[in-house]
């Protein structure tokens, strides 16, 4: 599948390259001048601290990789890393399973209705993650709406622990991830020529076969992009596990926080952050190889 999505890429992605010709009359100096403010800003607030982090992870009186070596043998780090990957993969898969049908439904709507529905999909996307997390507690918490209802229905027998544990983290995560997954898949589905479905229908194919043989394979670029975006976003998640997770659900970003503020072990914190950055960077690089990066708004 990857090879076909890549060949798709080559035929259609290139027109954008021509637009760069518009500034060619201004000369190299104006390009430097135009880019200078942002470049300086990025140097100051991104590259310098990043460099500092890498330096801290490597310098401990002298240059050494001791911090990394300690990470590799630290049960805490390995457990947290496993947690992180488990949670990220679970959240991504759940969001794929829930997101695909929504995208399919949206793609089938007439444009005006689709816009209205998309606003509903985007609403959580536009809401502060902090606000959303507290809202989730209000709904899914031990005294939340859902548990009150369950308690009322069962006469106080049932109370599902859905917050401050793994379930809570995944719930909060998919709430955050779903719009990215849906938009990414929707982009692929809308690009799909409807006449292919009509052609399959005239040949006698039923809805299920059309989905498996036509719609799903042709929407794979969107699925792959959505999955990569989701994993990338969830792997660096900090607020959600901190607010909705339990003691056992610490993720890598929370570990960095733990090292910097609780144990003041700066080399360990820096090394952890560098490892996280490397994983995310790898995923983003993979994302770049999938057609168009997926998101219509380019929010990746």
Partner 1 sequence: MTFLSASAAPASANPVSVVPTVAPAASAMVELRAVTKRYGQFEALHRIDLSIAKGEFVTLLGPSGSGKTTLLNLIAGMIMPSSGQIVIDGRDATGLPTNQRGLGMVFQNYALMPHMTVFENIAFPLQVRGLARSEIKRKVTDVLDLIQLGHVAGRRPRELSGGQQQRVSLARCIVYNPALILMDEPLGALDKKLREQMQLEIKRLHAELGITMLYVTHDQDEALTMSDRIVLMNGGRIEQEGPPDTLYFKPETVFSAEFIGSSNLIPGEVEAVENGTVTLRTALGRFPVPAPDRPVRAGEPAVLLVRPENMVLTDRPGPTGVTGRIEDSILLGGVVRHFLRCADGTTVIVQELNQPGRAGARRDDTVRAAWSVEHGRLLPPPPAR
Among 137, 163, 200, 271, binds partner 1 (CB under 8 A): 200
Taking the least distance from each CB to partner 1, the nearer of 214 and 287 is 214
The secondary structure of residue 292, as a DSSP letter, is G
Q: Which is nearer to partner 1, 5 or 147 (CB)?
A: 5
- 62 or 202: whose CB is closer to partner 1? 202
In the range 201-220, which residues lie near partner 1 by CB under 8 A?
Answer: 201-206, 209, 213-214, 217-218
- Considering the complex, state which of residue 2 and residue 248 has its C-beta at the smaller distance from partner 1: 2
Q: Please say whether the beta carbons of 187 and 294 come within 8 A.
A: yes
CA 253 from chain center: how many Å? 14
Q: CB 292 → partner 1: shortest distance, Å?
A: 16
Helix locations, 192-294, DSSP H: 194-202, 207-210, 216-235, 239-244, 252-258, 266-288
How many CB atoms are located within 10 Å of the residue 253 CB? 21
Question: Which of 290, 83, 117, 88 is CA-nearest to residue 300?
Answer: 290
Residue nearer to partner 1 on the CB measure, 96 or 214: 214
Q: Number of C-alpha atoms within 13 angstroms, CB side, residue 177?
A: 34
184 and 226 in contact (C-beta within 8 Å)? Answer: yes
Report strand pairing: 59-60 vs 62-63: antiparallel
93 or 216: whose CB is closer to partner 1?
216
- Shortest reach from residue 22's CB to partner 1, in Å: 30
Among 65, 199, 278, 285, binds partner 1 (CB under 8 A): 199
Using CB under 8 A as the binding criterion, the count of chain residues that bind partner 1 stands at: 21
Q: Mask of contacts with partner 1, 178-197, x by CB under 8 A?
A: ---------------x-xx-
Residue 2 lies near partner 1 (rule: CB under 8 A): no
User: Taking a C-beta distance cutoff of 8 angstroms, is the pair 223, 188 a contact?
Assistant: yes
* Binding footprint of partner 1 on the chain (CB under 8 A): 4, 7-8, 11, 193, 195-196, 198-206, 209, 213-214, 217-218
């Amino acid at each position: 599948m990857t090879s076909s999505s890549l060949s798709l890429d080559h035929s259609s992605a290139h027109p954008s390259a021509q637009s760069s010709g518009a500034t060619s009359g201004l000369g190299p100096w104006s390009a430097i001048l135009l880019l200078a403010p942002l470049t300086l800003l990025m140097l100051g607030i991104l590259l310098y601290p990043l460099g500092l982090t890498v330096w801290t992870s490597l310098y401990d009186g002298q240059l050494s990789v001791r911090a990394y070596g300690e990470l590799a043998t630290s049960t805490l780090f390995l457990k947290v890393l496993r947690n992180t990957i488990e949670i990220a993969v679970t959240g991504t898969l759940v969001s794929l399973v829930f997101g695909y049908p929504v995208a399919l439904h949206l793609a089938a709507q007439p444009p005006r209705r689709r816009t209205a529905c998309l606003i509903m999909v985007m609403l959580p996307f536009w809401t502060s993650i902090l606000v959303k997390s507290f809202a989730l507690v209000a709904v899914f918490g031990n005294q939340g709406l859902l548990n009150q209802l369950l308690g009322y229905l069962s006469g106080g027998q049932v109370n599902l622990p859905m917050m401050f544990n793994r379930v809570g983290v995944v719930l909060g995560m998919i709430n955050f991830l779903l719009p990215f997954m849906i938009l990414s898949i929707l982009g692929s589905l809308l690009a799909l020529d409807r006449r292919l479905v009509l052609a399959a229908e005239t040949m006698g194919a039923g809805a299920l076969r059309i989905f498996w043989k036509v719609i799903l394979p042709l929407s794979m670029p969107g699925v792959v992009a959505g999955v990569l975006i989701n994993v990338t976003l969830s792997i660096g998640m900090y607020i959600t596990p901190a607010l909705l997770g339990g003691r056992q659900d610490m993720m890598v970003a929370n570990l960095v926080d733990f090292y910097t503020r609780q144990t003041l072990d700066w080399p360990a914190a820096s090394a952890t952050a560098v490892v996280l950055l490397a994983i995310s960077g790898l995923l983003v690089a993979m994302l770049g190889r999938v057609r168009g990066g997926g998101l219509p708004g380019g929010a990746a």
